[in-house]
Structure 1
């Protein structure tokens, strides 16, 4: 019998369910109606059987004869494959051969499959500090729309979602939830082999920021870190995606961090194809994704994020995905769960290890087992791979005949410098906190911040871009205690780019012994690191937020332990100031195409989505 659910986890889940009741009921009714639309003559029939003859003929015109015959009938499930494949992104390059593998497995299981569509997959690593990064967050919503376009043909009984990286996985999930009566499985690709140790890479970046390393030396270090097909191995948003999808029940158990190009990865991919046929309304285990992703699943996702020190981007993405399922998830929920969730991993940027080390130490099976035993996860949450999450305390392996088998996960960590049990955590707190005050509300990730640096009060230095800050740093203008303010970086201003270029100079200033903090309405992803940073500030400057009225020299107090973010300026004076002008309309690198998104996007607290305001 599973342990008793932790009272805080139970209370937060109940609160989410209560505030979401009306919207969730409307959503479930809508997807139930969509599912019932396939019931005719007293039995469930594929959606394609309701198409007109010309419609259906268009739908199978390019298929092989055997598939055409199956698609004309009413007994075989047809599975949509929606893929983010491209061969520029290392994480997505392994997906090239997946459709053929999946079609083979689905065919052997008595179904058919078609590549229903592709979705864009941009790389934040390539666009960091570039104009293209201003399209990055909005690409999540474009992926959601593209997924919906792919599924809108009414040809499908289930969907396999092929994607890995930052905005792509949340976008695929949001798009699939619009067709929540269909079952869905996320099919991952796995991480590349470990390259240059993260501590060495970070050291070279700092040296380059100080002018003590050449561009060639920096490029050599970066190329040694990102060197082959597979996901980048640090624990940023891409690998946070993988972990969350498994704990939320959308991956097969243990699938997240098996390397690409291995027999075990191929076996897991084939099993995803076979399993999706069972989850359709024509199979024996009908599991609509809109029902699977309930309040329990999202609470499990938040807890897993906190327990591993995952990417702060998920304070946006989990909120947006939940909204797509009719569930209202808030930053207060993250904050309350963080207070009772122990930090069980040390993964870069919150440590020196990477996801391969995590996987070798016990991985997701060990982590899930520990959190379940502590009552911090809903053991009865539904999954695509088994009856409940309780079945995910396992590790996939190849048996003696090369078949896929799941063994019980290890009960002990193989490396407690990377992965620890609940009884001996790295920290008793999940490391994600909400701060608030007269500047608004923001998120702070403290899992890599030394306790001595978690409260800073210092004069503000205000910038309109990370490039301005870099110039001031190189000019020696920041050699002292400082709270750096980088504003007009929110979704309405410029699409809310990640500001990774801030990390090296701010880290250097802190290493010199200065008190340093960052306040921004932009994003830092999983890379905010050891410097205290209040990010995702809401309301943003471009939407009338008080950050637009801060001036150089204003004292700012940021205290993550006390949850305080305050500019120490009299209220009347602050209100009387003329707000700094927002940037003009962005053009070039496709940014002009997203003007409507910038006008429609909601605040960071609501997921920074164009679908919810």
Structure 2
């Protein structure tokens, strides 16, 4: 018998109730829509014979009979496989494993469609990075295309990295009447320690290391199939969706190429058949206000990627739920930081997993009343199922066992009553420059307040040239604007980190203010990112000039330019983002329509409109509830 469930923390309860209240109309509309799409038995049973025949023409043997017979659950496989990305290369083998497992469980699986998967690591600092955030919504649409054939009663979504998992989820939520399970591939083994990699990067930025030394360090870090081992957006994806109950318990950080990885993949195939055939738990009901809050809590408790202040907002909106940055801020104030994983520490994700991983994290957060236990998951009702870790049984299938109730490495993972810090380290800052996200879990307390002259750039290359010329060797707030979603797709800017780290190490006050992103690589530099409204939308960042005093205070939540208000308001922007005729090359011209449709960062930077269904550009309907 399990111990009595602890009372939920009052702030967790209040935030959840507030989200539910503000989302009542949009959530009700969404649930009504997916209820109307539900069908008794396989949906293909109502198809005309010609439609159905097209759907099994390529099948053979028992699969052909199963689809034609219209009695067995059909499972869609939607995969982000490609062999360019180390994290997605292992997915090549998964469809055949899944087809065998679903057949064994009494269903039939078909590869319904592939979705694009681009690597931010490869495109970092290059023009291709300007397509990265938009790729999330393209992936959502591609998922919709795969599922639009209406041949299926459930879906397995195969993906790992940055925009891919959010895109798969957003697309699947448009078919939220179907059950779905996310299937990960696991991280690569540990390579060169992240701290050493960061040291070589910083030496290269100073001109003290050669390109060959840098390439040797990078290739020793990223060295085999699997997810990169630092705690960026990819690994944040895995942890967050597992705590949301969308992976099988313990599936996130099992290495590719191992018997347990294969066993968990096959079990996902068997499990989706049971959910579709017996339990009838649709994805759109499984993802509710409580599971969204659980995802935010897990992100905060581990110091995860700031990209999820965009992605979780967009995922919630796809389910009719209105999540705001203020919700993140209020939750961050009461959720303790329990993990120390690079860039918030020296350990990597494999060390986190070995110390107790997701299972220990879920257990200690549940015991502290910081997670909702009474949620529906792909493993069944109740988040307590995620306190158990998978192991191989004698027959080669996975079974689950209890994990130690203490951390196996207190330098990496701690219980809720003995945290690294009392809060989750995510701040929302605001003032006369707009609103922004600031991650402080890796920022020393003495560096969290900066007031210094601005140096303004519109490109990373411009900043790099000024740094190499010695123009930034002093106290400085680096402002990089026209990097928002409407300007150029909101690329990640963490290529700035080594040079900014050099300036800080020289004893200067240093901060970054930008309408671009820094992702999971946000590190020791205080960085007010995703500033909204962005410069390209007429935001005040467009009027900042070199030499203006800018004050960033993570403790008070202030982001201010110390310039006479009338003078500042009278200024006109001196630069602008590229227009459509200039925003070309590397496929960017194909995405011009998305630049015009995209919404603001605090609404998820999505092209699909607000949760209300209103087009972007109309007055915001989500209230701003500031809690400091």
1:32 and 2:28 equivalent?
no
What is the root-mean-square deviation of aligned Cα atoms in Å? Answer: 0.7
2:233 match: 237
Equivalent of residue 21 in structure 2, options 18, 21, 28: 18
Please tell me whether the aligned partners of residues 475 and 508 of structure 2 are also in contact (alpha carbons under 8 angstroms).
yes
1:343 and 2:343 equivalent?
no
Distance in 2, Cα, partners of 1:550 & 1:79: 53
1:291 and 2:285 equivalent?
yes
1:523 match: 517
1:393 and 2:387 equivalent?
yes
**C-alpha displacement of 1:378:** 0.2
Distance in 2, Cα, partners of 1:404 & 1:607: 37
Equivalent of residue 607 in structure 2, options 594, 607, 610: 610
2:495 match: 501
1:68 match: 64
Taking the TM superposition and a 5 Å limit, the aligned residue runs for 1:164-203 are: 164-203=160-199
1:596 and 2:599 equivalent?
no
1:261 match: 257
Deviation per residue, 1:70-112 (Å, 9 max, x gap): 1122320000000000001000000001000000000000100
Distance in 2, Cα, partners of 1:347 & 1:560: 21
1:212 and 2:208 equivalent?
yes
Distance in 1, Cα, partners of 2:397 & 2:100: 16
* Gapped regions of structure 2 (runs ≥ 5): 610-615, 617-628
1:134 and 2:130 equivalent?
yes
1:320 match: 314
**C-alpha displacement of 1:400:** 3.7
1:41 match: none
Please tell me whether the aligned partners of residues 361 and 418 of structure 1 are also in contact (alpha carbons under 8 angstroms).
yes
1:459 and 2:453 equivalent?
yes
Deviation per residue, 1:30-59 (Å, 9 max, x gap): 000000xx2xxxxx2211112211111111
Distance in 2, Cα, partners of 1:398 & 1:49: 37
1:425 and 2:428 equivalent?
no
List structure 1 runs of 4+ shifted beyond 4 angstroms. none
Distance in 2, Cα, partners of 1:70 & 1:266: 25
Q: SS where residue 293 of structure 2 aligns?
A: helix
2:621 match: none
Q: SS where residue 534 of structure 1 aligns?
A: strand
* Gapped regions of structure 1 (runs ≥ 5): 39-43
Distance in 1, Cα, partners of 2:206 & 2:380: 52
TM-score calculated relative to the size of structure 2: 0.96
Deviation per residue, 1:509-543 (Å, 9 max, x gap): 00000000000000000112000000000000000
Number of aligned residue pairs = 604
Distance in 1, Cα, partners of 2:506 & 2:279: 59
Distance in 2, Cα, partners of 1:410 & 1:292: 28
**C-alpha displacement of 1:65:** 2.8
1:533 and 2:533 equivalent?
no
1:52 match: 48
**C-alpha displacement of 1:500:** 1.3
Equivalent of residue 9 in structure 1, options 12, 15, 40: 12
